[in-house]
Amino acid sequence: VSIGFDGNTVVQPQRAQDSWVVSMLPWALLGLALAVLIVAVVLRAVRWRDPAARRAIIAEFSPPEPLDLLLDGDVVRRSGQVFAAVVVELAIRGVVRIVDLDPAAQPDARYGIELVDHSIASDTELDVLNALFDGELSIGAVVQPSEISSNVAVAVHGRLKRAAFDATERGLRVRPSALWSTGLRIASAVVLFSFGIPLVWTIIGDRLIVPWVFVLALVATAITIATWAVTSVPLVLTAAGADRRDHLLGMREYLTVAEQERFRMLQSPDGAERIAAALGGELSGADASPTDAASIVKLNERLLPWAVLWGVEDEWSTVLVAGAAAAGVTSGVVAMGLANTQVLSWASLSSTRMVPVAASTSSWSSSGGSSFSSSSFGGGFAGGGGGGGGGGGR
């Protein structure tokens, strides 16, 4: 039987997945999500940035006041080096000492931190000591960072992280207004939820999910998460914070310049006066001179913790050793072994133990070998030596 119908009497209905809602809309939404992220990155870089240098960076011979290494690490955003710097600072001032517990042990288990006198520690340092020694501040107590418990690691790490709060309390950081970030977050969320339109469209029309639309939705989700992370309001430096940062940059300038340039700074017209100011009343003797080699060695000893903070401790240890030898004076830092690069490497390695997660195995890097003994310096170190000659910078 042959039955004739007019053309287009029976047609195949269009599939939902062939509609522009599925073929074009997901790509447009993905482009919008990416555009929102780019705008967020640009605005964060422009609106949420620390102030530029407020003055010309000149070499500084002393840390800024009030003395607080945790604060300094936050201001210059080098919190990863703060714990090692604090340990070295406490050792130099005699609050703790680094002891060689077992010369035959592996490097990460060889050294420990012994409490000597916590009465001269600042409030901030007491917080760190209480966390490190688990609240038991008894003279002679020894702790090995390689064997600390997870609770102690969390406590120490938490105190280090509080530096940003301290900076805010002291007016060095502030949280800026963020109306535009709220708008971008809302926009990114709307774009992400709009991916539900093509997904629901295909489920209702074709009773299936188009795989590539689902993949694009996942990519948009990742972009949205990145947008929210970028638009989280940071703490930026205030004018006072920028001044402290510039001062610390000046310390890095002094710590990293070559030996000839550093000598030129010390012998400049205002160099002697600034050295005297850095050393305070210790130059009151009749024969004391701020340009004496011994005075400069004493000044350089005080800067070792900030060399650790800036990551130039290996270079600075050679400066201390060579400077003390040239001046013919006994350096307390060298005598304690703190100028030895092996000890400084251990201190930096110990910083990883303060993170409250399982620490990955780190390789031990050491150079310049002094001999250590638990019988000298009351359980400290015998002999000096970070080895090496002049103090070339970077």
Per-residue pLDDT tens for 135-155? 888 888 888 877 777 788 888
288, pLDDT greater than 80: no
Give the per-residue pLDDT at 56: 82
Q: Give tens-digit pLDDT for 79-89.
A: 888 888 888 88
For residue 21, the Cα-to-chain-centroid distance in whole angstroms is 48
229, pLDDT greater than 90: yes
Tokens 């990293």 belong to 256
* 218 Cβ contact list (under 8 Å, min separation 6): none
Main-chain dihedrals φ then ψ at residue 115, nearest 5 degrees = -80, 125
Residue 387: which pLDDT band, with cuts at 50, 70 and 90? very low
106, pLDDT greater than 60: yes
Give the per-residue pLDDT at 360: 35
> What distance in Å separates the CA atoms of residue 177 and residue 260, rounded to the nearest whole number?
47
Strands (E), 144-247: 173-174, 236-237
Residue 112: which pLDDT band, with cuts at 50, 70 and 90? confident
Give the per-residue pLDDT at 282: 58
pLDDT mean over 220-232: 93
Residue 368 near residue 343, CB atoms below 8 Å: no
Percentage, residues of the chain above pLDDT 70: 78
Give the per-residue pLDDT at 173: 92
Residue 379: which pLDDT band, with cuts at 50, 70 and 90? very low
Percentage, residues of the chain above pLDDT 90: 17
> What distance in Å separates the CA atoms of residue 349 and residue 362, rounded to the nearest whole number?
8
pLDDT mean over 7-22: 69
> What distance in Å separates the CA atoms of residue 339 and residue 297, rounded to the nearest whole number?
12
* H/E segment holding residue 112: strand 111-115
Among 11-20, 43-52, 278-287, the range scoring the smallest mean pLDDT is 278-287
246, pLDDT greater than 90: yes
> What distance in Å separates the CA atoms of residue 297 and residue 306, rounded to the nearest whole number?
15
Name which residue leads in pLDDT, 76 or 208: 76
Give the per-residue pLDDT at 201: 76
Tokens, residue 233: 């309001």
pLDDT mean over 198-211: 73
Helix (H, G, I), strand (E, B) or coil at 275: helix
Cα 200-221-40 angle, rounded to 5 deg: 130
Full strand arrangement of the beta sheet holding 111-115 = 96-100, 111-115, 142-143
CB count in 10 Å sphere of residue 201 = 18
Query: What one-letter code names the amino acid at 105?
Result: A
Most confident of 8-17, 22-31, 269-278: 22-31
Residue 365: which pLDDT band, with cuts at 50, 70 and 90? very low
Give the per-residue pLDDT at 289: 60
Name which residue leads in pLDDT, 45 or 284: 45
218, pLDDT greater than 60: yes
Find the length of the chain: 394
Closest CA to 364 of 111, 78, 144, 114: 111
> What distance in Å separates the CA atoms of residue 48 and residue 237, rounded to the nearest whole number?
10
**Please, what is the average pLDDT of the chain?**
78
Tokens, residue 178: 């963020």
* 4 Cβ contact list (under 8 Å, min separation 6): none
